[in-house]
């Protein structure tokens, strides 16, 4: 009962922070709400027994992304533009449609915590009983991430590496060489 209450509590705050991001007009507040949103998602991953994903979300989403957004705000000049006061109907329609599609997609999933779900009846026992013999890795988590899910882990590392290179390229400053004026030329 307590776990369900915590789940509902986190989901309500997750929705509230998403709505806050949608309606705020101050970029600093938006960046902070994005950080809060990411922290709440990381908390939900912990409750779903996915600490590796939660750690990545907390480090990348709450930490690095928030710092980069705040650094970008600090490096840019204040805009004289007035913010839009109306929410775009097409953006709202797309958001509602995407949310409904995601909710529909969850209807085919097994019930949360169902001991008869395929992951509990087929895969977990095999990983525990045969994991070390099949992979030669004594640590079960490492065996799953590096051997059984090796391509998935490689894809995640590639995405993080590509994002890091992209950020470095965006933050790189290009200096134009100064043109020296000839003292003799008048």
More confident residue, 140 or 96: 96
Per-residue model confidence (pLDDT) at position 24? 86
Whether 47 contacts 6, CB under 8 Å: yes
Whether 12 contacts 20, CB under 8 Å: no
Per-residue model confidence (pLDDT) at position 176? 57
Helix, strand, coil percentages in the chain from 3-state DSSP, rounded to 5: 75, 0, 25
The 8-class DSSP code of residue 105 comes to H
What is the arithmetic mean of pLDDT over 150-154?
78
Whether 73 contacts 31, CB under 8 Å: yes
Sequence spans of domains, the chain = 1-76, 117-175
Tokens 């079960």 — which residue?
A: 140
Tokens 């958001």 — which residue?
A: 95
Mean pLDDT: which of 8-17, 63-72, 105-114, 149-158 is highest?
Answer: 8-17
Tokens 């004026």 — which residue?
A: 181
- What are 61-103's pLDDT values in tens digits? 888 888 888 888 887 766 666 666 666 788 888 889 998 998 9
């Amino acid at each position: 009962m307590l776990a369900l209450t915590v789940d509902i509590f986190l989901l309500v705050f997750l929705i509230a922070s998403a709505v806050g991001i949608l309606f705020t007009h101050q970029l600093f507040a938006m960046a902070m709400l994005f950080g809060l949103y990411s922290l709440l998602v990381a908390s939900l991953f912990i409750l779903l027994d996915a600490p590796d994903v939660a750690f990545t979300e907390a480090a990348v989403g709450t930490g690095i992304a928030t710092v980069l957004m705040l650094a970008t705000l600090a490096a840019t000049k204040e805009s004289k533009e007035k913010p839009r006061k109306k929410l775009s109907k097409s953006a709202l329609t797309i958001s509602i449609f995407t949310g409904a599609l995601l909710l529909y997609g969850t209807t085919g999933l097994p019930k949360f915590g169902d001991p008869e779900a395929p992951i509990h009846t087929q895969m977990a026992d095999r990983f525990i009983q045969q994991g070390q013999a099949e992979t030669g890795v004594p640590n079960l988590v490492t065996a799953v991430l590096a051997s059984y899910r090796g391509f998935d882990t490689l894809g995640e590392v590639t995405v993080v590496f590509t994002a890091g290179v992209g950020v470095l390229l965006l933050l790189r400053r290009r200096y134009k060489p100064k043109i020296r004026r000839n003292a003799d030329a008048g």
